[in-house]
Amino acid sequence: MTKPAEKVLGTYSTEDVSGTLERLAESFRVVMRELDFTVVDETEPYSLSEHQMMKSWRIRVVQCPGRSTPPLHMSVVPDDQDSLRYHLRFFRRSFVDPSDSKPLVTIEQEIYKTLALHKIVYGVIGQGGIRRMCLEILNEMQNPPKNPQQPYIDFPIAYGQKLIHGQDSRIQYNFDRYNPVGKLRSDGSLDYSRKDFTQYVHANKVIMIHYLPVQGQPGISPTGKVRPQHIGQDIERFPFRTTSRNIKLIHRAGRVEVLTRKEGYFVIDHNSWADIVDNLEIEGEVNIGVTGDIYFDERRKDVRIVYDGVEEDAVGSGRSVEGENIYIKGNIASHAKIKGKQVEIVGSIHSTAVIEGEEYVRLAMGGGHVKAPTVEAKSFQSGNIVADKIHIWGNMINTKVFCQEIEHTGTMRNTTITAAGPEIILGHLAGGDNMICVDYHGVPSVEQKIEKLEQEQAKLELSMAKLSKEVRTLSADIKRDKPQLETTVARVNQLRKEGRTVPESQLKFINSFRHRKKNLEQAALQVEEDKKRSVQLKREREKLLEVTRNAVVRITQGVEHGNRVRFLGQSTSHELAAAKNAVMIEYSQSGTVKVHHG
């Protein structure tokens, strides 16, 4: 009986080979097993979205009536230890078709088909490596081992790209940075009315290194999943200028080193010019720009700066203040950095300043980049806030907010609120350019918890899949060898009864069987424990998501037309109609935004 001829169905470009074959089978009314294809061409990987790369394959599809099981069996599996490395799994049950005059070409085509079916789009080894792999596979089929340890062979086939986060610019100080610019009081705080700043340096020492920002690289798996990298930002600028012969700036790859040329006092004046002088004199009001940065390396102390001058800043441009409890009465200049356990500032804050508190930050006229578990402000303008809880009594203008909960009682204009919930209370929404996003993305305290749960869940699923396979393999081996075990045990008992020597091979077989049975029990127990933990992780994640899903937005003082709101799960935002009185907004289970007036 002659073999039916192949029928060419056409050549197609696709990103999903399996889906294309299914659609062709339905269109031509043939069964899937009769369809076969070869990869004619493929594109380079390209970006499908921020989190996904893709590749397009050009395939030639044929119908093979009466097609039997193909002789080659392959798959693609991730490495157990390294998620960025994938293997081509070649199964030993494969065989060489005797009628195939070009088996190496057939094996190579099958490898490319397997990669396309599994959507391996990134980091595939070169053609030379694949052809060497074909030779090994052909040799394996022509000269199979007598007692192979496994029914398959794994060949490394694709390598992903490791995620490398970029580094923000930073400054490394190589001297004692505990520089009080005043006298220490008995209660541990500093009296800035009695200045006594001394920063003594030695000659031919690198006293500071300014590290430039580093780009980094995204993480990319062979299946095209992309983990965006942190792009290094110019956060800490170089803190001074100099033309002095006493200081040398050494420019190296990625950094600038500051080398002293003489011994003396290192000073920076109010215009940010640096020098090393023999005698130190400080004139004028308290100005961190003149006296230098304030740091506490070991035992942090309270920092209190009081300066109400309008022409000078309490904390000058690019200066840093660190301490335990920080109180500043005065203005904060551009690129200044304030960091403490509890921070309170009475004064204006430049939009580029950074304010961080381990417990809370309290501001009068808020601005800049503020981060703390709790943030309170009389007003806030031109900046962003990252916190768990926020309370703002006055106006909030040109601001981006990322929080769990917020209570605002003033006017809000040109502001974006991203809140995870459960409650978002806002005052008056003026203008038509405010945006309210009820979403946990961008809220670190919630997003990091969910991401951690998802990562643990993914590891558990991979572990359970591996253990389940091990359980199936051990169960099959034990079931197969049980009759032989019973015979061997009976034979051993008979030999011992007769006082004869028991062959070593029989004892090894019995011990091996018991060992496999013990491994089976342990693996099965671990699978059950992993299942319970998986259910627990899903419940914890769902509990966090439920808070956001049930979050309610309350606008207490009315809203003007054009402002928008978007809830978790919505692809587009909802435009709010004008309302003079209080409004409550919620997202129903049916997927619609409900607005309640009054």
Q: Give how far Cα 194 sits from Cα of 103, 106, 191, 293, 310, Å.
A: 89, 86, 6, 17, 21
Q: What is the pLDDT of residue 559?
A: 94
pLDDT in tens, 536-569: 999 999 999 999 888 999 999 999 998 999 998 8
Return the structure tokens found at 148: 């192979």
Higher confidence at residue 316 or residue 304?
A: 316
Q: What is the pLDDT of residue 241?
A: 87
Residue 307: pLDDT band with limits 50, 70, 90: low
Cis peptide, bond prior to residue 45, ω within 30 of zero: no
**Domains of the chain (ranges, CATH numbers):** 1-45+56-68 (no CATH), 71-160 (no CATH), 170-177+196-277 (2.40.50), 279-388 (no CATH), 394-597 (no CATH)
Average pLDDT, the chain: 86
Return the structure tokens found at 512: 């091996």
Q: Give how far Cα 519 sits from Cα of 314, 340, 473, 507, 513, Å.
A: 69, 53, 11, 18, 10
Nearest partner of 268 among 296, 288, 251, 286, judged by Cα: 288
Query: By three-state DSSP, how is residue 20 classified?
Result: helix
Higher confidence at residue 301 or residue 201?
A: 201
Higher confidence at residue 145 or residue 247?
A: 247
Residue 299: pLDDT band with limits 50, 70, 90: very low
Q: What percent of the chain has pLDDT over 90?
A: 55
Q: What is the pLDDT of residue 270?
A: 66
**Residues linked to residue 357 through DSSP beta bridges, in sequence order:** 340
pLDDT in tens, 565-586: 999 888 888 899 999 999 999 8
**What's the gap between Cα 485 and its chain centre?**
52
Residue 186: pLDDT band with limits 50, 70, 90: low
pLDDT in tens, 30-84: 988 889 999 999 999 999 998 999 999 999 999 988 777 678 999 999 999 999 9
Q: What is the pLDDT of residue 286?
A: 34
Task: Supply the pTM of this predicted model.
Answer: 0.49
DSSP code per residue over 479-548: HHHHHHHHHHHHHHHHHHHTTPPPPHHHHHHHHHHHHHHHHHHHHHHHHHHHHHHHHHHHHHHHHHHHHH
pLDDT in tens, 492-526: 999 889 888 889 998 999 999 999 999 999 999 99
pLDDT at 191 over 60: no
Nearest partner of 287 among 314, 251, 309, judged by Cα: 314
Distance CA 378, CA 107 (A): 72
Least confident of 136-145, 178-187, 420-429: 178-187
pLDDT in tens, 373-411: 999 999 999 999 999 999 999 999 999 999 999 999 999
Distance CA 367, CA 394 (A): 13
